Structure 1
Amino acid sequence: MKKLNRIILFPIAICFTTGAIAQKKTVTVKSKPVIKSETRISIDNNDSANGESEIDYRDEGGHKYHMYLKNDVVTDLTVDGKKIDEKDYPKYEGTIKKIKEQIRKDREQAEVDRKQAIKDQEEAEADRVEADKDREQAEADRREANEQREHAREDMRQAEDDRRQAQQDRKQAELDREEALKDRQQAEVDRKLAEEDRKVFKSIVADLISEKIISSEDKLFNLKLTDTELTVNGVKKSNTLHQKFKTKYLNGKHKQVMYYSNNRESGMSYQ
C-alpha cells in the first residue's frame, strides 16, 4: 500500500492578518521587520516520499472532495463518494486550483517559519556559549588576582565586571529562548485565525450561491455587509436578504464584513 501524506482541508477563506509583532531589538538579536497585512491561508502539508498527497475537502454546501495529487497533478478525484472520470476534471478546475494554490502558499510560509525558528535557536545557543566564556574569563581573572597581589584590587574589579556581563548574557540567552517560543505560539494563533476566517468566507460564498446571487466563488468581485445594508458586486440587496445575512454573520463579533477581488489580488476584512 502506498504511504500517502494526508491533508484535511476545510473551506478556504481569505483574511487579513495583522503583521507579526516586531521583536524588541537586543544586543545579540536584530529586530524583525514588521510584516504588512497580507492575504494568507494556512494548511499543514508535508510531501510523502513518492511525492503523492491525499486530500480531503468539504465545502460549505456539504460536498466532499477526495483527491490525490502527485507532482502537482491530480491523479484521482472523487466527489461525494462518486469517482470522477479524468475527462471531467476540468469541471472542478476552480476548486482544484484553489486547493493547489493554498498548499503552495502554506508550504512557503511553513518554510519561512521553520528557518526563523532555527535562526532564533542558533542565536540563543550562541548567547549561551558566550555566557560560558564570560564565566570562564571571570574565573581566570580571579586566579590572576591571587597570583598578582599588587594588582589584586584592579583584578577583582575586572572579575566583578566580567561576572555582571556573564549574568547579563545569561539573561539575554533566556530572553531569546522565550522570544523563539512566542514566535512559535503566534504562528499557531495565526493559523487558527486563518482557519476560522476561511470557514466564514466559504459560508458566505455558499449562502450567496444558494440565494442565486452568484453562480460561483470566482463571480464574487466585491461584498459589503454592514448593520444597514448588503451589497454584492455593487448591487444593494433586499432588506429581507440583508437581515438574513446580518443575523448570521454580524452576531456581535463583527460589525461589518468587506471583500474585494480583482485580477491582482483579493482580500477580506472584518471590523
Structure 2
Amino acid sequence: MPYRAPLDEYNFLFDHVVGLDKVRQTDRFEDASDDLTRAILTEAGKLCEEVMAPLQRAGDMTPSYLENGVVRTADGYADGFKAIAEGGWIGMSANPEFGGMGLPMTVTTAVNEMMSAACLSLQLAPLMSQGQIEALEHHASDAIKDIYLPKLISGEWTGTMNLTEPQAGSDVGALSSKAEENGDGTYRVSGQKIYISWGDNDFASNICHLVLARLPGAPAGTKGISLFLVPKYLPDENGEAGVANSLKVVSLEHKMGLHGSPTCVMQYDEAKGWLVGPEGGGMAAMFT
C-alpha cells in the first residue's frame, strides 16, 4: 500500500491538541507561524511519499552489508539521505547559528514520525544525527561545536550514539568501555559496543560516534560514566575529515526486520576522543 502523509491529522494536532499556538507566542519561535508549519509539513510529506516510501522495500530486498570494513548501504539509500540532508530536515530544531532551522521540537517530531512511517530504516540515520546534535549543542565545547555541528546539520557527516555493550544492555551502568587521558585534552577510548544503529555508511565523509565510557577511578554504576566524541576520521587543521581513527565495524547484527538500517558491532582500540560534558555526566549529556 503506498504511503500517504497524514497532513490534516498533524495540523489538527498542532491546532487543537498540543498547543503549538502557545509555543508560537514565545520570542524564540515567533516566526514559526501557522502558514510556515503547514508549508513545512507539506514539503516533508512530499519527501516521504515520493522519495522515502519507495525505499522501504529496497532496504529489505537489498539490505546493508559489511565489505572490507565498510558498510555498503541498501540500493537508493545514499540518494534518499542526500534528499533529506539537502532539504534541511536533519537540522530542523538545530541552532540557526550552525545552519539549523531553529524550529520547535513539536514540528520536528511530526516530520520524524512521517519519515518513520515512510521508511524507518532510512529515517534512523538522520535521527541519530539529531540526537548527537542536541547533545553537542548543550554540552560540547565551543571548539567541538564549530567543527562538528555545521557538518552534522548539513548531513556531510553523520552521528551515532554508543551505549550498549555485550554485558551491559538495559543495565547501562555495567558498561566496561574505558577512556584514559592523553595529556593534551584528548582521550584514548577502548571497548566494544553493540546494537549501534547506522554505525557506519558509505555516503557520509565522516561518522561521529558519541561513546559512553568510564574514566580511571570512576565510581561504579551510571554515576561513573562519561561521554566522548570519537570520530571515524580525525578532523585536520581545516576541520575536514583527515586520518582514520583506531575504530572499526566488527560485524552487522542479524535482525528480523529493518534490514536497510545497519546495526553495528563497534570496536574501539584506544581511539582518540574528546570529552563532552563533565566527567561522570555522560548519561545526562547523552540523553539531553
Q: Same fold by TM-score, threshold 0.5 exceeded?
A: no
Greater helix fraction, Structure 1 or Structure 2: 1
Larger Rg over CA atoms: 1
What is the TM-score when the length of structure 2 is the normalising length? 0.22
Greater strand fraction, Structure 1 or Structure 2: 2
